[in-house]
Amino acid sequence: MATELTLPQEVEGDSERICDAVVDRRIAVGRPLNVVAASSLYTACRVNHTPVTIRELALVSGSNPKEIGGCYRSIVSAMNMNLPSLNGSSYVLKLAAKANASEGSTTLAVEIVRRATDWGLGDRYPMTLAAAAVYTASLTMGENRTQAGLADLAGVSEASVRDCAKAIRRLMSARGGEDERQTKDGQRVS
């Protein structure tokens, strides 16, 4: 699976160690081996800040995404792991490459994700947020991308991308250049 998804060697090695620990500690007794392997790989990706989705793992492992998610949560809980939150920026880079977005759109999309996270949208599914950010950045840069096309590339629903893009645009207009309203010495202008 790691080879098919072109994941780094350190992720593959961590995945093997996690899978061995899961088997040794009998954490996933009764679960199919492909689900345990996919869940271990997902856990290793999270540990290494490597962007991969459960849906991608389900496709390459022939497993159900809900089973992988359930097993992943069991692993994290049983092993008392405190994993870092998902970083939407890495998903933007992955999605922008798939969509052949320009460097300008990609840079803007990363900035949109950073701001959206600061504004409280960071808890959204990272691929949805990435797709909405790439879509919003593409519109701004005059590039022709559709919500449906980006949703398909991201493996999320078009409605999710549309809703997230609306939330981003609402926040951007409500904040209306808030970051630019500063004096040269960094003091806010009232």
Contacts of 134 by beta carbon, 8 Å cutoff, 6+ apart: 92, 95, 96, 99, 101, 105, 106, 109, 145, 150
Task: Kindly report whether the global pTM for this prediction surpasses the value 0.75.
Answer: no
pLDDT digits (tens, 9 = 90+) for 41-75: 999 998 988 888 888 899 999 999 999 999 999 99
Q: Is 182 helix (H, G, I), strand (E, B) or coil?
A: strand
Phi, psi (rounded to 5 degrees) for 152:
-65, -45
- Token pair listed for 91: 């998903």
pLDDT digits (tens, 9 = 90+) for 86-118: 667 888 988 999 899 999 999 999 999 988 888
Interatomic CA distance for residues 138 and 106, integer angstroms: 8
Domains belonging to the chain, first-starting first, are: 9-78 (1.10.472.10), 88-177 (1.10.472.10)
- Which single residue is written with the structure tokens 């590039």? 143
Phi, psi (rounded to 5 degrees) for 155:
75, 30
